[in-house]
Amino acid sequence: MPRVLTPDICVIGAGSGGLSVAAAAAAFGVEVVLVEKGRMGGDCLNYGCVPSKALIAAGKAAHTAGHATTFGVSVPRVDVDFQTVHDHVHSVIAAIAPHDSVERFEGLGVTVIQDAGRFTDPDTVVAGDTEIRARRFVVATGSSPAVPPIPGLDAVPYFTNETIFERTTCPEHLVVVGGGPIGLELAQAHRRLGAKVTVIEALRALAKEPEDLAAIVLERLRGEGIEILQETKVTGVSGTAGALCVTVEDAAGTREIAGSDLLVAAGRTPNLDGLGLEAAGIRVTRAGIKVGADLRTSNRRVYAIGDVAGGLQFTHVAGYHAGIVIRALLFRLPAKEDRAILPWVTFTDPEIGHVGLTEAQARTRFGKHHVKVLEAPFSGNDRAQAERRTAGLVRLVVAKRGRIVGADVVGPSAGEIVNLLSLAVSRKLTARDLAGFVSPYPSLSEAVRRAAISYYADGAKNPWVRRLVRLLARFG
């Protein structure tokens, strides 16, 4: 006979979102079962954010050493030991893993089942020899690398983000299929660590970002020696390990690219297989599980969060979703997702980040005459000048009464600066708020205040304002 559990909440998936729900529920004394068939911590810890940022940090160290002469520092030679780079990446994972471990969560009072979970009916999940009949379920199974139908791809060795971090030697020539955030971050990191790199993108690289801002990043990557092919289709792959041939087609015709290794970074696909969603009455689309703004599925007892819910695929979004679900499950609060406040960052160098509405979206919503775009280039920022990192800018999208409704940053530490702008957008702050705070000097985020102050630039030209100033001056 199967073991039968009747918890208040059953969570399927121990990635960022699932772990957050389980930990919060347990903290309030709610009985919760967590089901995970793979590694605790999910994609972010094991194959995504953590290892990629660790690899990027190694690449940055090599790049900084190689360009130290700019600051009058002589580094005779930069040698990269890729085995040590590999060990660094995995030591970072190991340092964080205990926080996401089975032992920690069992210590919190969570029942952890390390097996695949599937619905057998709208009210029941089976995992191994355990039957779980919970009051509510949360599906947080994340996503996996999408593998495009490229002729010959199934016959050659290739990497995805789930396997690339196992390498202990640097690729001689890494060919990357996909010019999105994952593809470009890993392309630049490997280039800085010694690989020749070619990126192939079927459309426009960094297509979610404003084209003029994406161009700043692409210019830097090309300047570091990365070949970036846009509007180029991969029509075939052949060869063996270490000697691959990638056939591409663009407006100029067909040609072949010889590479030693292939990385497929062509997007993500939600993890839906094997969940028994049809048996649970849960509707799905190509993007993932169909949910409402409250993250409930078509089965009112089941929520879906994170990548599997078909929205923005970022760790912090999964964490945000977890907070919404916890408020609904534990406190019966009518919390809903607001995608307009969700930021994202691509951790290339320079970084590029966004939050809120784009200029076009803002003009559609508020009217083209009620929107201003404010900018402050890093070339006018003293900290950026001191560090010789002046490429890029801060861009604010401002609507009626000066409200900040969107922002973009491309440049040094853009990911940190977007934190401030995410707060501004989510709390409906105005240009006056951002212009009125005191920023420590010199700091890169001072560019935010400089951009906000420009909202009032027209006031200095207003003849009535100028007359008022002259009149007040008469009184001493």
Contact present, 27 and 155 (Cβ < 8 Å): no
Longest distance between any two alpha carbons in the chain, whole Å: 94
Positions of the chain with pLDDT lower than 50, given as ranges: none
Contacting residues for 101 by C-beta, under 8 A, at least 6 apart: 40
Cβ neighbours of 69 (radius 10 Å):
9
Cβ neighbours of 25 (radius 10 Å):
27
- Write out the E strands in 367-455: 372-377, 393-398, 404-411
Q: 221-237: per-residue pLDDT in tens?
A: 999 999 999 999 999 99
Nearest-angstrom CA–CA distance, 43 and 50:
9
Contacting residues for 316 by C-beta, under 8 A, at least 6 apart: 342, 343
Please report the pLDDT score of residue 459 as a whole number: 62
Residue position matching structure tokens 């890029």: 392
Confidence (pTM):
0.94
DSSP string, 73-114: ---------HHHHHHHHHHHHHHHGGGGSHHHHHHTT-EEE-
Task: Give the gyration radius of the chain's Cα atoms.
Answer: 25
Please report the pLDDT score of residue 471 as a whole number: 73
Please report the pLDDT score of residue 465 as a whole number: 65
Cβ neighbours of 399 (radius 10 Å):
19
CA distances in angstroms from 3 to 126, 127, 131, listed in the order given = 10, 10, 6
| Domains, the chain | 3-145+269-339 (3.50.50.60), 153-266 (3.50.50.60), 350-461 (3.30.390.30)
- 3-class secondary structure, 147: coil
Please report the pLDDT score of residue 476 as a whole number: 66
DSSP string, 345-366: EE-SSSEEEEEE--HHHHHHHH
Contact present, 258 and 266 (Cβ < 8 Å): no
Nearest residue to 352 (alpha-carbon basis) of 162, 221, 177: 221
Neighbour-count burial for 267-298, b at 16+ CB within 10 Å, e otherwise: ebbbbbeebebeebebebeeebbebeeebbbb
Neighbour-count burial for 318-347, b at 16+ CB within 10 Å, e otherwise: bbbbbebbbbbbbeeeebebeeeebbbbbb
Contact present, 246 and 176 (Cβ < 8 Å): no
Contact present, 125 and 12 (Cβ < 8 Å): yes
